[in-house]
C-alpha cells in the first residue's frame, strides 16, 4: 500500500510579499500522486475513485482517487480495460481476466505466444484487444463478445506490424495502428476480417471522437488528424514524441510523452504546453469525465487533475476587494511577444480567461479555476503565433467580457 504524503498535495504555492501588496499564485492543477515503482504503461478508471494502472512491476488498484494504491499482481502488464468495477482485462505477455475487481486473476490462454498492448471496449460485452508476436512484424487483433471470457482472432497478418493501439467508437467502426506505422480500419466489427490499410507513418496511439474525426500520434513533433475517417492531415506539436492522446471532444485534446503534456482547444490547429510537476516520460492518459483525469509514466509516476488540467499562473496584484467584475485592456498593446491581462472579481467565482484568433477560434486557455475575490494579472506569450488581431475573453458564472489585442512582429 502506498500512503499519501500530504506535502506533495499542496494545490498551490503562495508567496506573499506584504510590503508591496503583491502575491504570486503559481498553481499547476496536474498534481503528483503517490509514486509507485517501475514504468507504468496504461491506466483505466471505472469511476472517479476506482481505477487500475499497469506496468513493469505489476497491477495496482486505487479506490480513493489515487491517494492510496494496492499491488494486486506482480506480473508485468501492458494495456488494461474494465467493463465495470469488477470485470476487467489486463494485457502484456500473460493477459488475465478478473471478475472480482482484481482480487484474483485468471490467465487467458487464447493469447499464447503474443503480447497484448491495448484493449478497447464498445459496451459491457464487446471488447477488442491488439498486439503481436514478440520480435516480429506479426500483428493480431482479437474480439470478445462475452465480456472477455472468450476471444477470437479477427485480424492476423505476418507483415502488418505489432498493433500498439486499438480504438472503436461503436460496434462496427474501429481503427488499429502498428509499430511499423500502419493504420487499419474496419466498418463491420471485423467480422469479415477485412481491415483496410489507410495510412503509413511511425505511430503510437489513435483515437476518434466520432466516425469521421480522429487523431494519430507518433515519435516526432507531428500529429495526424482525419475528418473523414480515412485520409489524414498533418498538425504540429510544440515538442517531439506523442506516446498517448485523449480528446474530450472535437476541439479539446491532449498528447503526453517524453516532453510532458501538450494541449489543444481548437482541434489541433494550435498546441500549447501545460505545466507538469514531473520531468518523467508520460505514457498514458485517461479521463473519467470532463474534469477528472489521470496520467501515468516512468518511475511509477501518477498525475491527476480535477479541473480539466487547466493551468493557472497569475498574480494577485491588490489586497482590496473590487466592487465589480471587469476586464482591462492588455498592456502593452500592440506587443511582441508578451502582454499582461488584468481582470477583477468582486466575489469568489470560477473564472476562465481564453484567447481567440481573428476567426474566433479558441487557441489558448490562460486561466481556468476557482478564484477568491481580487485583482489578477495573467500573461500571454504569443511567440508561437503570427502577427495579427487576437481577442481575449473572461467568463465567470455571471460575467463575460471580450477585448481585442494586436500582435506585431
Tell me the per-residue pLDDT of 338-357, one tens digit each, with 9 for 90 and over. Answer: 999 999 999 988 788 999 99
> pLDDT confidence of 384, banded at 50, 70, 90?
confident
Q: Domain for residue 9, yes or no? A: no
Q: Residue 390 pLDDT > 70, yes or no?
A: yes
CA distance 157 to 89: 23
Give me the pLDDT at residue 16, please: 33
pLDDT digits (tens, 9 = 90+) for 228-278: 988 889 999 988 889 999 999 998 899 999 999 998 878 998 887 787 889
Give me the pLDDT at residue 19, please: 29
- For residue 151, give every residue at least 6 positions away whose Cβ sits within 8 Å of its Cβ, in sequence order, or none: 108, 110, 111, 129, 142, 143, 144
CATH number of the structural domain spanning residue 65:
2.130.10.10
Whole-number mean pLDDT of the chain?
86
Residues 96 and 166 in one domain: yes
**Count, residues in the chain:** 409
Residues 279 and 334 in one domain: no
> pLDDT confidence of 166, banded at 50, 70, 90?
very high
Q: Which of 252, 274, 305 is the last residue of a domain?
A: 305
Residues 200 and 274 in one domain: yes
Residues 196 and 329 in one domain: no
Give me the pLDDT at residue 115, please: 95
- The runs of H, that is alpha helices, within 182-288 are none
Average pLDDT over residues 379-390: 92
Q: Which three cell numbers stand for residue 366?
A: 490562460
Residues 244 and 357 in one domain: no
CA distance 396 to 179: 45
Percent above pLDDT 90 for the chain = 59
Q: Which of 305, 333, 361 is the last residue of a domain?
A: 305
Q: Domain for residue 140, yes or no? A: yes
Question: What is the number of structural domains in the chain?
Answer: 2
Q: Residue 68 pLDDT > 60, yes or no?
A: yes
- The CB density around residue 399, as the number of other CB atoms within 10 Å, is 17
Give me the pLDDT at residue 403, please: 98
Of residues 4 and 208, more confidence is placed in: 208
CATH number of the structural domain spanning residue 347:
2.60.40.1930
Q: Domain for residue 15, yes or no? A: no
Residues forming a β-bridge with 168: 174
Residues 279 and 353 in one domain: no
Q: Residue 300 pLDDT > 80, yes or no?
A: yes
Closest CA to 272 of 288, 258, 255: 255
Contacts of range 60-64, beta carbons closer than 8 Å, 24 or more positions apart:
60/36, 61/101, 61/102
Residues 221 and 132 in one domain: yes
> pLDDT confidence of 299, banded at 50, 70, 90?
very high
Q: Where would I find the beta strands (DSSP E) of 209-328? A: 214-218, 222-226, 233-236, 244-247, 253-257, 260-264, 272-274, 282-287, 293-297, 302-305, 311-318, 326-327
Give me the pLDDT at residue 341, please: 97
Residues 360 and 293 in one domain: no
Q: Domain for residue 207, yes or no? A: yes
CA distance 127 to 120: 6
Residues 116 and 147 in one domain: yes
Domain that holds residue 210: 29-305
Q: Residue 30 pLDDT > 70, yes or no?
A: yes
Q: Domain for residue 4, yes or no? A: no
CA distance 240 to 224: 13
Average pLDDT over residues 353-371: 86
Q: Which of 283, 305, 327 is the last residue of a domain?
A: 305
Give me the pLDDT at residue 27, please: 42
Residues forming a β-bridge with 139: 132, 157
Give me the pLDDT at residue 25, please: 41
Residues 294 and 191 in one domain: yes
Residues 197 and 296 in one domain: yes
> pLDDT confidence of 193, banded at 50, 70, 90?
low
Give me the pLDDT at residue 309, please: 62
CA distance 222 to 207: 15
> pLDDT confidence of 290, banded at 50, 70, 90?
confident
Give, as one character, the DSSP assignment of residue 321: P
Give me the pLDDT at residue 9, please: 32
Q: Which three cell numbers stand for residue 84?
A: 465495470
Q: Domain for residue 3, yes or no? A: no
Closest CA to 79 of 122, 31, 128, 13: 128
Give me the pLDDT at residue 264, please: 85
Give me the pLDDT at residue 24, please: 38
Q: Residue 2 pLDDT > 70, yes or no?
A: no
- For residue 349, give every residue at least 6 positions away whose Cβ sits within 8 Å of its Cβ, in sequence order, or none: 370, 371, 396, 397, 398, 399
Residues 328 and 400 in one domain: yes
Q: In what order do the strands lie in the sheet with 222-226?
A: 203-208, 214-218, 222-226, 233-236
Give me the pLDDT at residue 317, please: 87
Q: Residue 101 pLDDT > 80, yes or no?
A: yes
Q: Domain for residue 21, yes or no? A: no
Give me the pLDDT at residue 142, please: 94
Give me the torsion for CA of 85, 304, 310, 207, rounded to 10°: -50
Ramachandran angles phi, psi of 393, nearest 5°: -140, 135
Measured CA to CA in angstroms, residue 290 lies from 47, 199, 286, 307, 350 at distances of 12, 31, 11, 8, 15
- The runs of H, that is alpha helices, within 59-133 are none
Q: Residue 5 pLDDT > 70, yes or no?
A: no
Question: Could you tell me if 300 and 59 are in contact, meaning their C-beta atoms sit under 8 angstroms apart?
Answer: no
Q: Residue 120 pLDDT > 90, yes or no?
A: yes
Q: Where would I find the beta strands (DSSP E) of 9-112? A: 13-17, 22-28, 31-32, 40-45, 51-55, 58-62, 70-73, 80-82, 88-90, 96-98, 106-107
Give me the torsion for CA of 98, 64, 57, 138, rounded to 10°: 50
Q: Domain for residue 296, yes or no? A: yes
pLDDT digits (tens, 9 = 90+) for 198-238: 666 668 999 999 999 999 998 888 899 999 988 889 999 98
Amino acid at each position: 500500500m502506498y500512503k499519501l504524503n500530504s506535502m506533495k498535495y499542496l494545490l498551490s504555492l503562495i508567496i506573499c510579499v506584504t510590503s508591496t501588496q503583491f502575491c504570486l499564485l503559481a498553481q499547476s492543477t496536474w498534481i503528483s500522486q503517490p509514486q509507485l515503482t517501475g514504468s507504468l504503461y496504461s491506466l483505466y478508471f471505472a469511476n472517479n475513485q476506482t481505477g487500475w494502472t499497469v506496468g513493469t512491476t505489476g497491477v495496482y488498484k486505487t479506490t480513493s482517487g489515487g491517494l492510496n494504491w494496492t499491488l494486486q499482481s506482480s506480473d508485468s502488464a501492458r494495456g488494461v480495460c474494465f467493463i465495470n468495477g469488477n470485470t476487467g482485462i489486463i494485457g502484456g505477455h500473460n493477459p488475465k481476466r478478473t471478475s472480482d475487481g482484481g482480487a484474483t486473476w485468471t490467465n487467458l490462454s487464447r493469447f499464447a505466444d503474443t503480447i497484448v498492448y491495448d484493449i478497447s471496449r464498445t459496451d459491457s460485452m464487446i471488447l477488442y484487444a491488439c498486439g503481436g508476436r514478440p520480435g516480429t512484424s506479426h500483428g493480431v487483433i482479437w474480439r470478445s463478445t462475452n465480456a472477455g471470457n472468450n476471444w477470437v482472432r479477427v485480424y492476423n497478418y505476418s507483415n502488418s506490424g505489432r498493433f500498439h493501439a486499438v480504438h472503436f467508437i461503436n460496434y462496427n467502426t474501429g481503427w488499429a495502428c502498428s509499430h511499423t506505422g500502419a493504420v487499419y480500419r474496419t466498418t463491420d466489427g471485423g467480422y469479415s476480417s477485412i481491415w483496410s490499410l489507410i495510412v503509413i507513418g511511425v505511430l503510437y496511439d489513435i483515437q476518434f471522437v466520432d466516425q469521421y474525426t480522429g487523431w494519430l500520434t507518433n515519435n516526432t513533433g507531428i500529429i495526424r488528424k482525419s475528418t473523414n475517417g480515412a485520409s489524414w492531415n498533418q498538425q504540429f506539436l510544440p515538442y517531439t514524441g506523442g506516446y498517448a492522446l485523449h480528446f474530450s471532444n472535437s476541439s479539446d485534446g491532449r498528447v503526453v510523452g517524453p516532453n510532458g503534456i501538450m494541449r489543444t482547444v481548437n482541434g489541433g490547429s494550435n498546441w500549447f504546453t501545460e505545466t507538469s510537476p514531473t520531468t518523467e516520460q508520460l505514457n498514458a492518459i485517461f479521463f473519467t469525465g470532463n474534469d477528472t483525469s489521470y496520467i501515468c509514466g516512468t518511475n511509477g509516476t501518477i498525475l491527476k487533475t480535477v479541473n480539466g488540467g487547466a493551468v493557472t499562473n497569475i498574480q494577485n496584484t491588490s489586497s482590496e476587494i473590487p466592487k465589480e467584475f471587469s476586464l482591462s485592456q492588455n498592456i502593452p498593446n500592440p506587443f511582441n511577444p508578451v502582454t499582461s491581462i488584468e481582470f477583477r472579481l468582486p466575489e469568489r467565482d470560477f473564472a476562465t480567461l481564453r484567447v481567440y484568433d481573428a476567426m474566433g477560434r479558441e487557441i489558448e486557455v490562460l486561466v481556468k479555476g476557482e478564484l477568491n475575490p481580487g485583482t489578477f494579472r495573467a500573461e500571454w506569450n504569443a511567440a508561437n503565433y503570427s502577427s495579427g488581431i487576437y481577442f481575449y475573453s473572461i467568463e465567470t458564472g455571471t460575467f463575460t467580457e471580450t477585448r481585442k489585442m494586436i500582435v506585431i512582429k
